[in-house]
Structure 1
Amino acid sequence: MPRHGRLHIPGGCYHVMGRGLERRRIFYADADKQDFLDRLGETLARNGSQCVAWSVMTNHYHLLIRVGDQPLAKLMAPLLGGYAGHYNRRHHRSGYVFQNRYKSILCDADAYLLELVRYIHLNPLRAAMVKNLTDLDRYPWTGHSALMGHRKQDWQSVSEVLGLFARGLGTARRRYREFVVQGLEERDSDELLGGGLVRSYGGWEGLKRLRKEHVYCIGDERILGDSDFVERALAQDTLKVEQATQRIQAGWDLDRLIRRVSQYCGIKEEQLTQKARGNDLSLAKALICLWGSQELKLSLREIAHRLSISQPAASQWVNRGRKFCRELGIEFEVIDS
């Protein structure tokens, strides 16, 4: 099957994974890991991309990359090619180092960024490469130690992640670590490793049809997000035109969204800053966070500020909104009239 070009969404967030050939080691010594990280920092700077989270294991790596105008391949090709060549010379070997192409999953950052940061940074602990979270706090081969302030990586987007928890550095680190602790009590989600689309199998609808026929496909490019996010990503990649733009042109903004959702749920707008103890208020908050981020492409930061909640809380409301919509069978069109 011929290879298809990877989706390129400027500003998109990609979970990137790669393994050694036949699952062999690709990092034998600390020098190998440091060489990989040095090259990563250099290529990030050249391509105008950002690294939000990372973890270097023994036979594989995880990166969470937010690309700029340049596609992901412009970053990964020199990184992996340069590392493989130097690795072979350093270890007096020849041949392939990495197994097939790296996997890249375009992620709905508003809904999954924090979960992915936690998942990636917990890899060494879950693989028993460190004994406990205290050791992970200072472990040099994952981005967690930089977020905890014990190591510095100039190319890691530390402030972006910590800023999602609090403005003050100390409070942000404490809340981030509490968030990581919560992850230890939860099972890994397979959802974070796979997603909504394998484009080479006919897109979202094609993949759903194959799954109904019990044909399960494995591809090297996926999307982590619901069908709406998948469709938006495809539209942006191929047509560069999104429905959100049309809605904004039609006068949709956060004020209008809040007004319409409040009317639909039968609550007063001023109630939205209160704790959601009732079903109507919970539904309203969930729909505002879900439809604001997905249908209008508003940032969760803006929505969270308006509702007087944290961005992680807004992300949780997005997930609740998806559940409400599934259970109640409602779509954005109920307020778009």
Structure 2
Amino acid sequence: MPRQPRLDAPGLLQHVMARGIERREIFKDDKDRKSFLERFAIILEETQTQCYAWALIPNHFHLLLRTGATPLSKVMRRLMTGYAVTFNIRHRRSGHFFQNRYKSVVCEEDPYLLELIRYIHLNPLRVKLVQDLKELDNYPWTGHSAIMGKRKNLLIVDTPANESLSAEGGLFYPFLPERVKGNKKPRHPCNPCQKMPLAEKTIEDVLLHFGKTKKVARRRYRQFVKNGIEQGKRLE
């Protein structure tokens, strides 16, 4: 039966999933996960693709992407083919690595963006990789910990210019009066000549749905995620 053509237009929000062949592990250890994310970060920046949420599970991954001018098919081909080759060399294996093509679902922007971010980031809790929300806050293999400011954003390409970006940095601070009361300068002033990495801007786009300051936005975002646990949402 012929494959159905994918809807692959610039700017579409898409939930992307891929599994290992026969549901085998595609991430055996942290070195594999870091290798995947380093490759992914470079591809995102080069193709100007936004990733709003991601989760690495031992035998599959979830991504919530909005493409730029580069089609999703090319983004995913670079990511999956490159990672499969690296994994096979490292673990001395051969043959097919992923189960068929990746699966992608086009998502409606307004109603489902935040729901999908929550759904994807709760995956490690659903499959018992973490035991509770507190542990998820510090879990490195989803985008949740970066949104919470608990860990470095692993989707930012390591460069000298980006090393100064911390969990407290970003677009919020230079423009908020509360940060300059008493003639105090913001703790992390922005350099107007330094372009913010797309992965950092994407996190700020997410937080702006929840509040005007990071402290408030993160508290509300976390409560939103917690509500998802209490609603008993189940993994597909």
What is the TM-score of this pair, normalised by structure 1? Answer: 0.55
3-state SS, counterpart of residue 73 of structure 2: helix
Separation in 1 of the partners of 2:205 and 2:97?
33
State the match for 2:89 in structure 1: 89
State the match for 2:208 in structure 1: 163
Q: Does the 8 A contact of 2:8 with 2:73 survive in 1? A: no
Q: Which has the higher helix share?
A: 1
State the match for 2:185 in structure 1: none
State the match for 2:225 in structure 1: 180
State the match for 1:31 in structure 2: 31
The CA deviation at 1:188 is 2.3
3-state SS, counterpart of residue 98 of structure 2: coil
The CA deviation at 1:47 is 1.2
3-state SS, counterpart of residue 142 of structure 2: coil
State the match for 1:122 in structure 2: 122
The CA deviation at 1:189 is 6.2
Letter in 2 for 1:111: P
Residues 1-337 of structure 1 mapped to structure 2, 5 A cutoff: 1-153=1-153, 154=156, 155=199, 157-188=202-233
Q: Does the 8 A contact of 1:47 with 1:74 survive in 2? A: no
Task: Work out the percentage of aligned pairs sharing the same amino acid.
Answer: 52
Gaps spanning 5+ residues in structure 2: where? 157-198
RMSD between aligned alpha carbons? 1.3
Separation in 1 of the partners of 2:44 and 2:70?
10
Q: Residues 268-301 of structure 1, C-alpha deviation per residue, up to 9 Å, x if partnerless?
A: xxxxxxxxxxxxxxxxxxxxxxxxxxxxxxxxxx
Letter in 1 for 2:3: R
Q: Does the 8 A contact of 1:55 with 1:142 survive in 2? A: yes
Higher relative CO (Cα under 8 Å, sequence separation at least 6) belongs to: 2
Q: Residues 79-130 of structure 1, C-alpha deviation per residue, up to 9 Å, x if partnerless?
A: 0000000100000010111100000000002110000000000000111101
3-state SS, counterpart of residue 223 of structure 2: helix
Separation in 1 of the partners of 2:81 and 2:48?
19
Separation in 2 of the partners of 1:66 and 1:102?
16
3-state SS, counterpart of residue 125 of structure 1: helix
Separation in 1 of the partners of 2:234 and 2:110?
17
Separation in 2 of the partners of 1:39 and 1:2?
31
Separation in 1 of the partners of 2:46 and 2:219?
33
Q: Does the 8 A contact of 1:137 with 1:144 survive in 2? A: yes
Q: Residues 182-209 of structure 1, C-alpha deviation per residue, up to 9 Å, x if partnerless?
A: 000113268xx6xxxxxxxxxxxxxxxx
Letter in 2 for 1:21: I
Letter in 2 for 1:23: R
Separation in 2 of the partners of 1:87 and 1:189?
30
Separation in 1 of the partners of 2:219 and 2:147?
10
Structure 1 runs of 4+ with >3 Å offset: none
Separation in 2 of the partners of 1:75 and 1:187?
33
Q: Residues 185-238 of structure 1, C-alpha deviation per residue, up to 9 Å, x if partnerless?
A: 113268xx6xxxxxxxxxxxxxxxxxxxxxxxxxxxxxxxxxxxxxxxxxxxxx
Q: Does the 8 A contact of 1:55 with 1:61 survive in 2? A: yes
Letter in 1 for 2:233: D
3-state SS, counterpart of residue 114 of structure 2: helix
Q: Residues 4-56 of structure 1, C-alpha deviation per residue, up to 9 Å, x if partnerless?
A: 33102321110000000000000000000111111111111121111100000
| Structure possessing the higher radius of gyration over alpha carbons | 1
Gaps spanning 5+ residues in structure 1: where? 194-337
